Amino acid sequence: MAAQTEPRQVTETRAEGDVPLWVHPEWRERFSWLVQGTTGRGRGAEPFDMGLSGVQPVGPALDRWRALRAASGMDVVAHSRQVHAADLWIHREVGAPGIQVMDGFDGHVTDRRGLLITVGVADCVPVSVVDPETSVIAMLHAGWRGTAAGIVERGIHRMVESWQSSPERLHVHCGPAICGECYEVGPEVHEAVNPDAPVPPGKANIDVRASIARRVMGLGVPAENVTVSTHCTRCGEPDFFSHRGGSKARQMGVLGMIERR
Ligand SMILES: [Zn+2]
């Protein structure tokens, strides 16, 4: 049988419970020691907006964060205001129980249990990286700018450098995000995201998740370990927030290791 060369598409399913969390069905079976997924809009009267930097009142937003923390069973939920760059925070300690809000980091890496690392998205790609051998995880915010700045490569390099992660052991998932059909951008974006490909003369569609998958496989992650969500935040999706769709709300890509494997 020929080696697989394309990432596999998967469809996250809504987990049970009050917090609208869409989880990777294969990872739920295979990595039962993970809390993973992407929050969604939910079906309640109030959308499950996790945004902390927008216009919504902070009280209801923090209530949703508390609900996420309780549902995850984690001691600490860590988040950072993001700047569309490629700086990572390496969590060496879990910290005091509660919700940790940092500033200026678009990615998180940790080997600690009981810590849920999160990135806010609404069309950008929440990228989850898992090394099941060394029990190291990364959660990365990859819009076109972060992808062009190499945040995914930086996250994986850091896992290799600090924990001797081997790319062929890693598992990578690109979560709910805007799809290639919905995302039309100028040539400067194409050049930044796909520097080795021909640059279109004008506006053209781009699939950022496909580019991330190629970058990840280029680092040596086997194609069979790379998955891409079928969910588009923009088209036909009442379940997620879309920036291009006019929403200022945010869902969270989340990843954490429970205390016991
Ligand atoms: Zn779409």
Q: Where are the domains of the chain?
A: 8-257
Give 183 Cα–ligand 1 centroid separation in angstroms. Answer: 7
How many CB atoms lie under 10 A from the CB of residue 138?
27
Helix (H) or strand (E) holding 158: helix 151-163
> 236 C-alpha to center of ligand 1: Å?
7
Q: What pLDDT is stored for residue 105 in this prediction?
A: 98
**Helices vs. strands in the chain: H and E counts, helices first:** 6, 16
Per-residue exposure over 192-212, b if at least 16 CB sit within 10 Å of its own CB, e if not: ebbeeeeeeeeeeebbbbbbb
Looking at per-residue pLDDT, the higher value among 246 and 260 belongs to: 246
Task: Read off the pLDDT band of 261 (50, 70, 90).
Answer: low
Ligand 1 geometric centre to CA of 122 (Å): 12
What percent of the chain is modeled with pLDDT above 70?
Answer: 98
Judged by DSSP in three states, 94 sits in coil
Confidence bin at 55 (pLDDT 50/70/90): confident
Express the helix, strand and coil content of the chain in percent, nearest 5 each.
Answer: 25, 30, 45
User: 99 CA distance to ligand 1 centroid (A)?
Assistant: 32
How many angstroms separate the alpha carbon of residue 5 from the centre of ligand 1?
23
Distance 21 CA to ligand 1 centre (A): 20
| β strands within 132-206, DSSP E | 136-142, 171-174, 184-185, 204-205
Q: Are 143 and 84 in contact (CB under 8 A)?
A: yes
The answer to whether the CB of 53 falls within 8 A of the CB of 117 is no
Distance 232 CA to ligand 1 centre (A): 5
User: Ligand 1 center to residue 234 CA distance, Å?
Assistant: 5
The amino acid at residue 241 is F
Architecture of the domain defined by 8-257:
4-Layer Sandwich (3.60)
